[in-house]
Amino acid sequence: MIRLIFRLIGLIIIGGIIFLALSLWQGGKPFRWFGQKTEQAGEIIKEKSKKLGDEADKLKETTDSMKKTSNKIREGIRKTGDKIKDVAGSKDEK
């Protein structure tokens, strides 16, 4: 646990030194570049997540309609009094 704390403190100190060195050497240019690139990546991620969300909605609608259909079939079979095995067949039958 103590090693972890010392490593975190070391990383913070090294990060601070790198920040100061970049600030003195090139000013804010590398930080603006990093911010711009992360913003572009965020836009791409946002577009892809919208597409994934749309596909997930389509999949959910399909499964919901399949559940409704299977429930209607099950209820129809129950009303006639037949067993589902009689209608669909069992695994042993060929």
Q: Quote the percentage of the chain above a pLDDT of 90.
A: 14
- pLDDT band, residue 28 (cuts 50/70/90): confident
- Amino acid in the structure at residue 61: E
**String of DSSP letters for 19-57:** HHHHHHHHTTHHHHHHHHHHHHHHHHHHHHHHHHHHHHH
pLDDT in tens, 1-26: 889 999 999 999 998 898 888 888 88
Residues 6+ positions from 83 with CB-CB distance below 8 Å:
77
Model confidence band, residue 32 (pLDDT cutoffs 50, 70, 90): confident
